[in-house]
Amino acid sequence: MTKLGFIGLGVMGGRIAKRLLDRGYSVTGYNRTKSKAGWLIKAGMQWSDSARSVAESAEIIFSMVTNTNALLSVTDGPEGVLEGLKRGKIYIDMSTVSPAISRVIAKKVASKGAEMLDVPVSGSVETLEAGKLTLMVGGAETTYKKVKPILQSIGPKVTYVGTNGMAVIMKIATNLNLAVQMLAFSEGLVLAEKCGIKRQLAVEIFLNSVIASPMLKYRGPFVLKMPDEAWFNVNMMQKDLNLAEELGQQVDVPLPCTSIANKFLTAARGMGYANEDFAVIFKVLEKMSGLTQ
C-alpha cells in the first residue's frame, strides 16, 4: 500500500492521520511538538524528526498547519518538505493559507519533478469522526485522479475545483460563512434572552428551525457549554477572515458581514478569549448587551 506522510498533527490533522492509519495505510508523521503525536505513535504511526524526512520516506505527503507562515516553515529550508521531494512524489497541503503563496509553493514543488494539490477540508471534529468531512481539490486534474481513493478514505465527498490555489479560495469563501452565521445566531439568542426567553429554550427552537445549518447544529450548543478543547479557535477563525478580506480587496468584492464578524473576533481576543472556540463571540455580544448568567 502507498506510503503516506503527514506533517502537522493538531486537532484536525492528527485525526485525519488516524483515519488513514485505521484504513491500513502506513503513515509517517512529524509535528513541531512531538508530545502531541504520542497517541498516534501508539496507534502505529511512525515518527520522523523533520518535515524533510517525512517527505523522503513517503510517496504522498500531507500537511495541515495553522497558517501561511507555518506552511512556509515546513516547506522551505534545509529541513523542509521541498528538500525531501523528488520526481513522482505528490505533496498535498490541507491548510487554509494565502492562495498566492500556495501557488508559489506549487511551482517550487513542480521544479523538483513532483506534483502538488491544495486540499482544504470543510467540517469539524464531529464531522470528521462521523466520516462526513468534505474535501476540495486544487491542482492538476490528473494528479487528483491518482490520489482520489486516498482522499475518499478521509471523507466521502471530494470535489475537484480547478488549478492550484482554487480549492484554497473555495475554502476561504466557505469559512467566512462560519463566523457570520455564528454571529447572527448569537444576535438572535441575545435578543430572545434579553426579552425573557430562556437561553436553552431559544437554542432548542433555533436548532429545529429553518436557520439550523449543519454548522449551527453542532456549534450552536457551545453557547450553553463551551468545549474543553476548541475545535477552531478565535485566532484560527480570524486568520481565515483576514484572508477573505484580503482576497475581497484584491478582486473588488465587498464583504461587509465578514468585516463585522471579524471585529467581534478582535473583541474576543481583547477579552482574553483567543484560544476559545470562535463560538465564544456569543460571550462578546452577551457582555456588550449587559446580560449576565
Assign residue 249 the CATH number of its domain: 1.10.1040.10
Please tell me whether residues 120 and 188 are part of one structural domain.
Answer: no
What pLDDT score does 11 carry?
86
pTM value? 0.91
* Strand-pair category, 3-7 with 115-118: unpaired
Please tell me whether residues 154 and 48 are part of one structural domain.
Answer: yes
CB-based burial, 118-143: b 16+ in 10 Å, e otherwise: bbbbbbbbebbeeeebbbbbbbbeeb
Question: Which are the catalytic amino acids?
Answer: 171
Q: Per DSSP, what are the bridge partners of residue 92?
A: 62, 117
Looking at the structure of the chain, the number of domains it has is: 2
Q: What is the pLDDT along the chain (293 residues), one digit of tens a residue?
A: 789 999 999 889 999 999 999 999 999 999 988 888 999 999 999 999 999 999 999 999 999 999 999 999 999 999 999 999 999 999 999 999 999 999 999 999 999 999 999 999 998 888 888 888 999 999 999 999 999 999 999 999 999 999 999 999 999 999 999 999 999 999 999 999 999 999 999 999 999 999 999 999 999 999 999 998 899 999 999 999 999 999 999 999 999 999 999 999 999 999 999 999 999 999 999 999 998 65
The parent domain of residue 243 ranges over 169-288
Q: How far is C-alpha 22 from the chain's CA centre?
A: 21
Please tell me whether residues 17 and 146 are part of one structural domain.
Answer: yes
Please tell me whether residues 107 and 180 are part of one structural domain.
Answer: no
In a domain, 283, yes or no: yes
Residue where a domain stops, chosen among 164, 184, 217: 164
Beta-strand ranges (E) seen in the chain are 3-7, 26-30, 46-47, 60-63, 90-93, 115-118, 121-122, 134-138, 157-162
Residues 250, 169: Cα–Cα separation, whole Å: 12
Please tell me whether residues 29 and 160 are part of one structural domain.
Answer: yes
> How many CB atoms sit inside 10 A of residue 257's CB?
15
In a domain, 184, yes or no: yes
